[in-house]
Amino acid sequence: MGSKRTGGRVLVLDYLVGDVDEVSHLIDDDVFLSECLIGLDPQVEIKTSPGSARNVGSKLRVRATALGSFGWLGFLPRLQKIVRLLAVRPGRDVTDIVFTVFEELPTLLFMLLHPRKRVHLIFHNNLSLERKQRHPRLNPMLIKAVAKRASSLMVSSEHQEDLLISLSPDVQDSKIVFKPHHMLGYSRTRLPLAERSNRLLYLGPVSVRKPVEPVIDLIKADVDGKFRYVMKNMVGITDEQRQFLEDHPNVDFSTEFLDDDAFYEAIGTAALLISTHNQLFEGKLSGPISDAIASGTPVIANRMSPHDEMFEQFGDMGYLVDYADPRWAGRLLSVDYQTDFDTFERHMALCRENSSMENIREIFRVRFEG
């Protein structure tokens, strides 16, 4: 399990949750981090949503409690998040606080209220060109403020590091820490190619950052029916797109949200998972790609960060394409994914090893003791 650290207790905060138990496949993040940090502090505590707290408590011997809901502020969700976080009162013996996700303003206020606590921030959606362009003045100001007060700024790609430095040029190099995407190393059932189908999986919902058009382009080009297209949680499609999908017998789509068992079965039995995230999402790794690599399922993704960084570090784990190139679909349909599968699996195994709980625990140990 690794050596326990010396010092005070650790508190994990996952405060960007809804007032009620939301349907989500992300609560395993809380389980992974809790189990990881138990190895450093057997009394680690996590404060999260009611559903996630129950999930963690059912799997681990860890103190998992629900944050205050403040449901009466539901009509003001941003204020609700601020109040929810500021209501947290860390114990005197808590020295290190890990934010699994965060928004800058509530987190800044929290750090101002608790200046003696060492705060470790894991960046997710905070660093993106979209946010930088949408809030050219406010975004750098808030990033600078939290970077100044935090003890650790955990990024998972060079793209994120570059954006962080561009937003906060004076940030101390010693605060920036590379932490692998922890869900890549989560233990999942992995099937050999012989036990998989020829299904190509796309998971919604559809958005401006995750358009469905690339999948439709691929279906149009696949005149020989190389794949069966499974498309779930298809919220956000137009009537025209729905009609197109309904007219193709090799397409199985639904708008229903998959429960955990169905979700991981769909990922684990697919030949390939396709992610259509565009440059608005650059620098961030989607949950389905993390779950796919953890499940040994190769991916199709845009040639951008962090996909290109990961493929360069570990080797190809599927196919990187340029969705803006009209020839991409034809080129993809010409590959022999069955021949490539074993190579992809070897590279995914290297990626999973890099994101192992032991490696991530050591990163936190060094930060806690620094």
According to the model, what pLDDT value does residue 7 have? 61
According to the model, what pLDDT value does residue 244 have? 97
According to the model, what pLDDT value does residue 6 have? 52
Domains and CATH numbers, the chain: 9-180+356-369 (3.40.50.2000), 193-354 (3.40.50.2000)
According to the model, what pLDDT value does residue 18 have? 53
Q: At what angle do helices 337-354 and 287-294 cross, to 10 degrees?
A: 100
Residues of the chain falling short of pLDDT 70: 1-7, 17-26
Instruction: Determine the Cα–Cα distance for residues 178 and 326; give it in Å rounded to an integer.
Output: 35
pTM of the model: 0.91
Q: Around 210, how many Cα atoms within 13 Å sit in the side-chain half-sphere?
A: 20
According to the model, what pLDDT value does residue 145 have? 97
According to the model, what pLDDT value does residue 182 have? 85
pLDDT over 90 percentage in the chain: 78
pLDDT tens digits, one per residue of 255-305? 988 888 899 999 999 999 999 999 989 988 999 999 999 999 999 999 999
